[in-house]
């Protein structure tokens, strides 16, 4: 299925397929944090993230959210639509954690009265700085209409996934979303996984996400596996 290597990021490799509008996304076991300053390896991370993302993309498609996902074609590979990626990260926050704790001076775990949307310029060289609508428009990264659509989708995705995980006993603390253009439409891209979301057990507050790697909490691979088992309806 692979035809031509296109791009390698911190967590994935992208290959052109024989279909012009389709790519193969291969998830890696490599792990990075703090803009690449911390590097490591998480056993089976590629398999877990690919499988989790596939299940969540399918769930969102069923809820009417268009994504780049087509199908999972291997343990750590998915077939996806080839998008013109918009260089923005849209972050939805439901509970105070990470950088929001430092910026607002609120304790970690403080529940927000409503979801907060933040925008970041996706650029490792500059540390993915926070930006606003004016920066986006003046730099022409997206039109006003495209930005409005991304925001609309981000709130909808956050609503659907918060509800999905709530019934599994998991709080969706926050999540990072990326979008791209495909034949005139804005589609959800990238992945939805413990790499891009914070998942906390409702009863214990246990972290089941990349913070276990960032904070050297241990059992990182097990945490990713637990999320996959919950989504598949398997007991942990």
pLDDT per residue as tens, the chain (236 positions): 678 999 999 999 999 999 999 999 999 999 988 877 888 999 999 999 999 999 999 999 999 999 999 999 999 999 999 999 999 999 999 999 999 999 999 999 999 999 999 999 999 889 899 999 999 999 999 999 999 999 999 999 999 999 999 999 999 999 999 999 999 999 999 999 999 999 999 999 999 999 999 999 999 999 999 999 999 998 65
Q: Are residues 31 and 123 in the same domain?
A: no
pLDDT of the residue at 161: 98
pLDDT of the residue at 235: 65
**Residue 227 located in a structural domain:** no
Residues 147-202: tens digit of each pLDDT: 999 999 999 999 999 999 999 999 999 999 999 999 999 999 999 999 999 999 99
Q: How many domains does the chain have?
A: 2
Q: What is the CATH number of the domain that holds 99?
A: 3.30.470.20
Q: Are residues 193 and 108 in the same domain?
A: yes
**Residue 229 located in a structural domain:** no
Pairwise CA distance, residues 32 & 38, whole Å: 5
Q: Are residues 21 and 130 in the same domain?
A: no
**Residue 200 located in a structural domain:** yes
pLDDT of the residue at 236: 57
pLDDT of the residue at 78: 97
Whether residue 170 contacts residue 160, with contact meaning beta carbons closer than 8 Å, is answered with no
**Residue 235 located in a structural domain:** no
Q: Which domain does 29 fall in, by range?
A: 4-81
Q: Are residues 61 and 95 in the same domain?
A: no
Whether residue 79 contacts residue 17, with contact meaning beta carbons closer than 8 Å, is answered with yes
- DSSP 8-state secondary structure symbol assigned to residue 21: T
Task: Count each helix (H run) and each strand (E run) in the chain, helices first.
Answer: 6, 15
Specify the residue for token string 């199908």. Answer: 71
**Residue 11 located in a structural domain:** yes
Longest dimension (CA), the chain: 51
Q: Are residues 144 and 212 in the same domain?
A: yes
């Amino acid at each position: 299925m692979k035809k031509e290597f296109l791009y390698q990021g911190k967590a994935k490799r992208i290959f052109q397929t024989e279909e012009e509008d389709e790519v193969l996304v291969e998830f890696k076991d490599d792990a990075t944090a703090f803009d690449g300053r911390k590097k490591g390896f998480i056993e089976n991370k590629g398999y877990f993230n690919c499988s989790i993302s596939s299940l969540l993309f399918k769930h969102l498609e069923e809820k009417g959210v268009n994504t780049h996902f087509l199908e999972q074609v291997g343990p750590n590979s998915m077939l996806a639509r080839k998008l013109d990626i918009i260089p923005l990260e849209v972050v939805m926050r439901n509970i105070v954690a990470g950088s929001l704790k430092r910026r607002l001076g609120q304790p970690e775990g403080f529940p927000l009265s409503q979801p907060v949307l933040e925008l970041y310029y996706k650029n490792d060289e500059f540390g993915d700085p926070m930006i606003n609508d004016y920066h986006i428009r003046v730099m022409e990264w997206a039109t006003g209409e495209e930005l409005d659509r991304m925001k609309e989708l981000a709130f909808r995705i956050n609503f659907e996934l918060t509800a999905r995980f709530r019934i599994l006993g998991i709080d969706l603390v926050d999540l990072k979303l990326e979008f791209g253009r495909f034949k005139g439409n804005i589609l959800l891209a990238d992945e939805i996984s413990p790499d891009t979301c914070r998942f906390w057990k409702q009863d214990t507050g246990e972290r089941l996400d990349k913070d276990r790697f960032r904070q050297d909490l241990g059992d990182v691979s097990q945490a990713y596996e637990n999320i996959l088992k919950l989504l598949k309806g398997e007991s942990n």
